[in-house]
Chain A
Amino acid sequence: MVMADANNISTNGNGNGNGNHYAVHVRSVTKTFGTGDATIHALREVQFDAREGELLMIVGPSGCGKTTLLSVIAGTLGFDSGEVDVFGSPLHSLSKGDITDFRAKNIGFIFQQFHLIPTLTNAENVSVPLLINGMKRAIAEKRAHELLEVVGLKGRGNHLPSQLSGGQQQRVAIARAMVHDPKLIICDEPTSALDKENGAKIMELLSSIARAPGRCVIVVTHDPRIYHFADRMTEMEDGRVARVHAAPENL
């Protein structure tokens, strides 16, 4: 079933996204790169929502602006105009320092290339978000070991990332993304470096996280093998949200 367009949802909500209905509320966001003839319109008046408790996928052809939108939502990239609300934080009106702080507390990141620090043990890698938030090292590492157990890597905390398979490394990254209990977890192509089986394991973990109350997981992907894990799917085209699919089977 196709829900006409993204604006459809906002009429149900309270309009500025800080109610408990919306996790992410993006209104008329524009982002360009470069100037003059070389200007690239990466996002054109984007309207976008993600709800609490859902795993939302963003799909679309290469260069359509998926990563750019994800970066805007995560607060790692500034935008030219529009409004972005994430769990009640209005990113468009926060200072740079406040946005950094916002990311530290509220966002979990999962990257295509894992981005684990190779010289740190898995547990140390997982503890990083807690340390950034000022937690004591010993407590942070204890918590990291617990989280590694949750993602099925019991006993691997003192190993280095290089001693793990790709799928296992991505599970370390998931542990790192959730260790500080963020409300929003952002994933860019989390399974594209993995085979089907490992990709499915990763997605199972992510959907279980998304189900938790007051949480949301947004996944950008090209990988049709994992489409069925989505609660909803936002399709982008040329810097705009083209369609929102309630059920991925209809794609």
Chain B
Amino acid sequence: MYHIALKMLFADRAKYIMLISGLTFAALLMTQQAGVFFGILGWTNGNLKNIRSQIWVVDPKVEQVNEIKAMRDTDVNRVRSVPGVAWAVPTFWNPQQARLADGSFKPIVLVGLDNSSLVGRPVHMIAGRIEDMRLPNTVIIDDLGVQRLSQGRKKPIGIGDTFEINDKEARIVGICQTEKMFWGYPYVFTTYDQALRFAPKQRKMLSFILAEPAEGQSAAAVAKRIHEETGLGAHTEEEFGAMTVKWFFKNTGIPVSFATTIILGFIVGFAIAGQTFYSFILENLRHIGALKAMGASNGLLTRMVILQAITVGIIGYGIGIGLTVVVGLAFLQKGMPPFSLPYEVPLYTFFAILFICAFAAVLGLRKIFNLEPAIVFRG
């Protein structure tokens, strides 16, 4: 009987297409929007992925990683003197304007790393050597920087080329690869001392202190101690990431607006698919009544309806996810908007679609259970 159930489903072209469209729409909207949302969340933590350190020490008022409140240079020594701290180094981190070959300006994030240790250095080098950034007036730019800073050049900008930061010439000695950060600016890495020269003079220029716990000590415990003894904000990498995500949830409308769109996708898919499936059952009620009269049990009819519901569910889900992947790859290719699809997204979307189908099936089955087979003798 199952092939009969499928044939009845596929034969009703209009409803079948409507069902698939509704479910595809729901699956696409839910996963695609969730993908962009997680992409943005990933961006918010971009800094943590590009500058690796077990402990981040910041001004106590700082709530998230994209926020800078400069500290005093002496704070580095205060942190170093906390028991359990293996080492602590100053880091500069600040958006600046880069002047390009054609005279135009582009925003960048200038990162100054501790001169001797280069802690927080780029994770992946594409070309050049990190150590070369110790040479006078040199910088390492990232892959995004190659795109952005090449404006006005015949060939893409590369090692040996120069541009200006605040009227001071910066020579490129390496290219690295980074993850996008929330503002979408390219990173320009140099040493701490050179960064202070590139940036305009200010009273306090220390953005944050990167530290590591001594052997055998946990980062969380040491961070806690740093905070207790210095009064500064001290967070492990994970804590700082979680704080950042929390901050975005609390202070921006971004999560709410994405959640709204995702819920809307669910509701619209739910309404379209539920309604269409119900009317599909209603329209076939005469035939189902005849099957019932001919001895088809409620159990058999239930299995047939569930098969129909699951079939449209899986097809709709499949197409929806397929389209999401296509759209997502296009986004990633372009780099805009951000996109990231943790496996939970398609998984939960699958459950959502399954829920829609189950609901639709239950609606139809209620009708079928209450159907008296005797109706087949009525005109």
Q: A128–B377 contact, CB under 8 A? A: no
Q: Chain A, 97-118, contact with B by CB distance < 8 Å: what is the 0/1 string? A: 1001111110101011101010
Q: Which of B290, B296, B300 has the most CB of A within 10 A?
A: B290
A132 close to B (CB within 8 Å)? yes
Query: Which of B3-11, B106-114, B121-129 sits within the interface?
Result: B3-11
Chain A contacts for B344, CB-based, 8 A:
none
- Interchain CA distance A132-B372 in the complex, whole Å: 18
A205 at the interface (CB under 8 A from B): no
Q: How far is the CA of A232 from the CA of B188 in the complex (A)?
A: 102
Does the CB pair A109–B294 fall under 8 Å? yes
Give B276-322 interface residues, CB cut-off 8 Å to A.
286-287, 290-298, 300
In the complex, chain A residues 42-92 whose Cβ is within 8 Å of any chain B Cβ: 67, 70-71, 74, 76-77
Contacts of A128 in B (CB 8 A): 1, 4, 291, 294
B11 engages A105 (CB within 8 Å): no
Q: A99: nearest residue on chain B (CB-CB)?
A: B295
* In the complex, chain B residues 38-54 whose Cβ is within 8 Å of any chain A Cβ: none
Tell yes or no: B18 within 8 A of A by CB.
no
Whether the pair A132, B374 counts as a contact (CB closer than 8 A) is no
B285 to chain A, nearest CB (A): 12
A133 on the B face (CB < 8 A): yes
B281 to chain A, nearest CB (A): 14
Is B184 located at the chain interface by the 8 A CB criterion? no
* With A71-B374, A76-B293, A109-B293: A131-B4 Cβ-Cβ less than 8 Å: yes
B160 lies within 8 A of chain A by Cβ: no
CB <8 Å contact, A76 and B374 = yes
Are B300 and A109 in contact, with the CB atoms below 8 A?
Answer: no
Write out, one digit per residue, whether chain B residues 362-379 have a CB within 8 A of any chain A CB (1) or not (0): 000000000011101111
Determine whether the beta carbon of B291 is less than 8 Å from that of A120: no
Chain A residues positioned under 8 Å from B290 (CB to CB): 109, 111, 115, 117
Q: Is the CB of A119 within 8 A of B8?
A: yes
Main secondary structure of the interface of A (DSSP, over half): helix
Kindly state whether residue B102 has any CB partner on chain A within 8 Å.
no
Residue of B nearest to A125 (CB): B4
Q: Report A111 CB to chain B, min CB distance, Å.
A: 6
The answer to whether B12 and A74 touch across the interface, beta carbons within 8 angstroms, is no
Which chain B residues border A235 with CB–CB below 8 Å?
none
Given the complex of chains A and B, what is the CA–CA distance between A90 and B153 in angstroms? 95
Q: Chain B 158-196, CB within 8 Å of chain A: the 1/0 string?
A: 000000000000000000000000000000000000000
Q: Write the chain A residue with the least CB distance to B1.
A: A131
Contact indicator A101/B295 (Cβ below 8 Å):
yes
Q: Which A residue's beta carbon lies closest to that of B300?
A: A132
Q: Are B3 and A137 in contact (CB under 8 A)?
A: yes
Q: B294–A132 contact, CB under 8 A?
A: yes
Interface residues on B, range: 20 to 34
Consensus secondary structure, chain B interface: helix
Q: How far is the CA of A195 from the CA of B156 in the complex (A)?
A: 86
A-facing residues in B335-379 (Cβ within 8 Å): 372-374, 376-379
Give the interface size class of chain A.
Answer: 20 to 34
| A112 in contact with B3 (CB, 8 Å) | no
Q: Are A100 and B1 in contact (CB under 8 A)?
A: no
Residues of chain B with a CB closer than 8 A to A188's CB: 377
The reply on A129 being an interface residue by CB < 8 A is yes
Q: Is the CB of B296 within 8 A of A76?
A: no
Which residues of chain A come closer than 8 Å to B286, judged between CB atoms?
115
- A120 x B4 contact (CB < 8 A): yes
Task: Please determine whether B297 and A76 come into contact, CB atoms closer than 8 angstroms.
Answer: no
A188 CA / B292 CA spacing, docked (Å): 17
A4 to B297, CA, bound (A): 41
Enumerate chain B residues within 8 angstroms of A105, measured Cβ to Cβ: 295
Output the least CB separation between A197 and chain B (Å): 24
How far is it, in angstroms, between the C-alpha of A77 and the C-alpha of B292 when the chains are bound?
A: 12
A119 partner, pick from B11, B373, B378, beta carbons under 8 A: B11
Residues of A within 8 A of B287 (CB): 115, 117
CA distance A103 to B379 in the complex (A): 21
Q: Do residues B377 and A103 form an inter-chain contact, with CB atoms below 8 A?
A: no
A137 / chain B contacts, CB cutoff of 8 Å? 3
- From B3, B8, B11, B372, A76 is in contact (CB under 8 Å) with B372
Are A133 and B377 in contact, with the CB atoms below 8 A? Answer: no
Query: Separation in Å of the A112 CB from the closest CB of chain B?
Result: 7
Minimal beta-carbon separation of B292 from chain A (angstroms): 8
Give the distance to chain B from A231, nearest Cβ to Cβ, in Å: 23
Contacts A124-B4, A132-B1, A188-B377 aside, 4 further interface pairs with beta carbons under 8 A come to A71-B377, A102-B295, A104-B294, A115-B287
| Pairs A–B under 8 Å by Cβ, sample size 17 | A70-B377, A76-B372, A97-B297, A104-B294, A107-B294, A109-B294, A111-B377, A115-B290, A117-B4, A117-B287, A117-B290, A119-B7, A119-B12, A120-B4, A120-B7, A128-B1, A131-B4
Interface residues of A (CB under 8 A from B): 67, 70-71, 74, 76-77, 97, 100-105, 107, 109, 111-113, 115, 117, 119-120, 124, 128-129, 131-133, 137, 188
Q: Which 9 A-B pairs have the closest CB atoms?
A: A104-B295, A119-B11, A77-B374, A76-B373, A103-B295, A115-B290, A71-B374, A76-B374, A117-B287
